[in-house]
Amino acid sequence: MAMTYAELPGLMTQLTGDEKHSASATSTLDVIWVLYDAVLRVSPQTVDDPGRDWFLLSKGHGPAAYYAVLAAKGFIPAAWLAGFGGVDSRLGYHPDRTLVPGVEIGSGSLGHGLPLAVGLAHGLLARALAEPRVFVLIGDAELDEGSNHEAIAYAGAAGLPNLTVVVIDNQSASWGWGAGGIESHFAVSDWSAVRVNGRDHAALTAALTMTPPRPHVVVATVEAKDA
């Protein structure tokens, strides 16, 4: 049986150890929950359906929240959580698509998820699969990687309407973003861009269900990493 948001803290406490990266994991919790609870057209029964929506966790070095939500939604058994990072566990410190049902990419090396999402979104359209949407979650500090900016420029030029990026902004980028904020770096490449409270489920749902005729970015503000 699927669980509720109120049960997530109990699931999260089952994942322990220094490699949990608690700040990274908890910063993504509400976004991942809203995606799986109210936005994504995917279920444990449709993880291989070509017409499903796709979620790529690029911020893969803190997968605890991802694992907890997958357990809450029935993709993996909750009993797996206590073995997080163990020698015989499927739940590694970085998610592995070959071991964890529902995981679409192996991630954790920063800067790869967004370029992969751009290629996936383009590939789906090339196969005449216009309904599936591609969502990718990245961190603000991850945008320090130049590969992301190449992907942003290309996606804007290609006008990919099936691509949505979520940037978790916990003020951990190396140099900040200036007066225009993170969203300005997407908007200049012809992306639709909005900023919302990353803990407000109604605002997240509204932003993540927008379908502009071009790529879309949702900047989700959460508490500062060192707060």
Q: What pLDDT, on the 0 to 100 scale, is given for residue 19? A: 55
Q: What pLDDT, on the 0 to 100 scale, is given for residue 17? A: 64
* 215 occurs within a structural domain: yes
> Which of 94, 78, 96, 111 lies closest to 24, judged by CA?
94
Q: What pLDDT, on the 0 to 100 scale, is given for residue 20? A: 47
Q: How many CA atoms lie within 13 A of 86 on its CB side?
A: 11
Strand partners, 165: 136, 217
* 17 occurs within a structural domain: no
Q: Whole-structure pTM over 0.85, yes or no?
A: yes
CATH number (domain holding residue 44): 3.40.50.970
* 68 occurs within a structural domain: no
Q: Which residue segment(s) compose the domain that 133 sits in?
A: 24-59+95-221
Distance in angstroms (rounded) separating the CA atoms of residues 55 and 75:
13
Contacts of 157 (CB under 8 A, 6+ apart): 189, 190
Chunk the chain into consecutive blocks of 10 residues (it has 227) and report each block's average pLDDT, rounded to whole numbers: 87 75 80 98 96 95 91 96 92 94 90 95 96 96 90 97 96 76 94 97 98 97 81
Distance in angstroms (rounded) separating the CA atoms of residues 170 and 119:
27
- Count up the domains in the chain and report the number: 1
Q: What pLDDT, on the 0 to 100 scale, is given for residue 227? A: 58
Q: Buried b vs exposed e over 141-156: b needs ≥16 C-beta within 10 Å?
A: bbbebeebbebbebbb
Distance in angstroms (rounded) separating the CA atoms of residues 62 and 95:
9
